[in-house]
Amino acid sequence: MRRDVTASLTLDATGPARMVLAIAVADGRAAEETLTVTQDGTPLAPVEIADQHGTRLHSVDVTGGRIEVRYSARVDGRGEAAVVDEIDPIRYLRPSRYCESDTLAAVATAEFGGLEGVALLDAVSSWVGTRLVYDGWSTDPTDGAVATLLSRRGVCRDFAHLVVALLRARDMPARVVAVYAPGLEPMDFHAVAEALVDGRWLAVDATTLAPRSTLVRIATGRDAADTAFLTTIGEPVELVEMRVSATADALPDDDVREPVALG
């Protein structure tokens, strides 16, 4: 399987700032790729910084003006399955900013008590997918899993946060993965949940908006605080326009009953 992905960002910086981008495909997965950043037409030199689980950050200092970011990559075949680090079962059981598993413990026990393993993962993903409405204008970027459960609406990150929080509340390590998603409509950066089951990280997408076998890993972490495509430090930076594309030479059916491990 071949997948081609691109991301284009246009931003306005009001003064000196550091931009940290998380738009490159995870370490070791790109057969070819290019990344360019310009400020008012002048090329800048991003510095790559390695984050956990193969996440590649690119840091660039700007002084103000129109910033253009262009990224493209080709990914051939499936990568190796995600490695399970010794700390993972501890780190990804803890509550986090957007995945308040401690607050949702009673809900998780009432709905999923007695389930474990793949049966628990399937039940939580199905429950979230059938109880939330996908609505691109319904939530605030600072909303977490509790707010999503109360509103019953959200975007992909909200679906993923609620899945992760409920799984953690039932003692299953879970995390959020930012991905390029061929077949996604409307096209954007996408977020899915990943859970540690029987020594493997398995991916579920409660939105069912794109086949999991085509997803391309970008960033992995506790929640959206670890996987945001853009972090800025210093003077304000306004996102003026963003375009994302992801295509695959084949879009297979995705049987939600089948476990899928992201490469």
Can you give the CATH number for the domain in which 66 is found? 2.60.40.2250
Measured between alpha carbons, how far is 219 from 228 in angstroms, rounded to an integer? Answer: 8
Measured between alpha carbons, how far is 89 from 214 in angstroms, rounded to an integer? Answer: 26
Residues 151 and 234 both lie in one domain? no
Residues 186 and 212 both lie in one domain? yes
Measured between alpha carbons, how far is 226 from 162 in angstroms, rounded to an integer? Answer: 16
Residue range 126-167, pLDDT digits in tens: 999 999 999 987 778 889 999 999 999 999 999 999 999 999
Residues 53 and 132 both lie in one domain? no
How much is the pTM?
0.96
Residues 95 and 192 both lie in one domain? yes
106 inside domain: yes
Residues 241 and 133 both lie in one domain? no
Residues 113 and 202 both lie in one domain? yes
Residues 60 and 138 both lie in one domain? no
Residues 177 and 107 both lie in one domain? yes
Number of domains in the chain: 2
Residues 39 and 100 both lie in one domain? no
Residues 171 and 238 both lie in one domain? no
Residue range 9-61, pLDDT digits in tens: 999 999 999 999 999 999 988 999 999 999 999 999 999 999 999 999 999 99
Residue range 69-81, pLDDT digits in tens: 999 999 998 878 8
- CA–CA distance from 1 to each of 34, 212, 253 (Å)? 20, 13, 14
Distance spanning both ends of the chain, measured CA to CA? 12
Which range marks the domain in which residue 42 is found?
A: 2-78+230-246
